[in-house]
Amino acid sequence: MKVHHADITTAMRTPADSPSGQEPSSEVNGASSGDAGRESRLVVELKGIRKSFGSVEVLHGVDLEVHAGEHVVIFGPSGSGKSTLLRTINLLEEPNAGSVRVLGVEYGPGVPGERVEKRGGPLQLRRHVGMVFQQFNLFPHLSALHNIALALRSVRGLGRRAAEEKAAHSLRQVGLLRFAAHYPGELSGGQQQRVAIARALSLDPEVMLFDEPTSALDPELVGEVLAVMRVLAESGMTMVIVTHELNFAREIGDFNVFMDEGLVVESGPRGFFESCSNARTRQFMEAVL
């Protein structure tokens, strides 16, 4: 499938990418990285989140706050509920109880007795929240550029030309502009995940969710995806990341959350990995670091 406009074709010939295609641009939408902190604007607020699958409750009244420009890292053993918690933020998993507030709008059942001034639905919510999954979820019959442009046309209602121009810009942000005409089958796993990140970024989200974005990659491809995420973090993008990459979590996390058995066991700011006091947290970190 061809790129249809001369200005995009010209952009594709610019030296935006290194020959290896692994150096993302530092030009990413977001607040200044200096804005991160627990005192800045509240973007996501979860209160008393409970989630059950059948008769099994997997989240037992979890609270979480995410502030503008902040990078929140959630980690813990498999089955601890961390991915389920992440997916409640954009209602891919609808909580059975509790409050899901994004930018002050309530999207969950709510907290009994607490006044709700604004209530929204899933489609409204997902216009503000981008998500990157373990699997890339790219259309195999569309080029990298058109995978992104399709989302822009469907979700944002952009025309073809505007969608392709914005898609090209998003690919440049993740260092893949020169691969715009390539199909997913022609890209490595790391490159496909970077296209998926570009697709989410193109929609200008207020917050980005990452659900173990490197877990499906060969070890030698993990670094290029983490490099893109590092640039996003440095740009001030608000991020919530579920990951097993604890060295990366230690580097990037402004606020760190350890979960086990559907509960937040312990949480804390930078320095958490050195100062955590809960025995279960320390046991887990000693086993994986």
* Mean pLDDT of all residues in 173-192: 96
pLDDT digits (tens, 9 = 90+) for 58-112: 999 999 999 999 999 999 999 999 999 999 999 999 999 999 999 999 999 999 8
* Mean pLDDT of all residues in 143-161: 95
Q: Are 128 and 207 in contact (CB under 8 A)?
A: yes
Range name among 3-7, 97-101, 196-200 with the lowest pLDDT average: 3-7
User: Residue 266's pLDDT band (boundaries 50, 70, 90)?
Assistant: very high
Range name among 7-11, 170-174, 280-284 with the lowest pLDDT average: 7-11
- Is 237 a residue whose pLDDT tops 90? yes
Task: Look at strands 207-211 and 129-132 and give their pairing.
Answer: parallel
User: Residue 38's pLDDT band (boundaries 50, 70, 90)?
Assistant: low
Range name among 4-8, 25-29, 203-207 with the lowest pLDDT average: 4-8
- Is 3 a residue whose pLDDT tops 70? no
Predicted local distance difference test score (pLDDT) of residue 7: 44
Tokens 């639905």 appear where? 121
* Mean pLDDT of all residues in 117-138: 91
DSSP readout, 104-144?
A: TEE-SSB-TT---S-B--HHHHHTTEEEE-SS----TTS-H
* Mean pLDDT of all residues in 145-156: 95
- Is 184 a residue whose pLDDT tops 70? yes
Query: What's the sign of the alpha-carbon dihedral 127, 257, 28, 221?
Result: negative
Tokens for 188? 């490595």
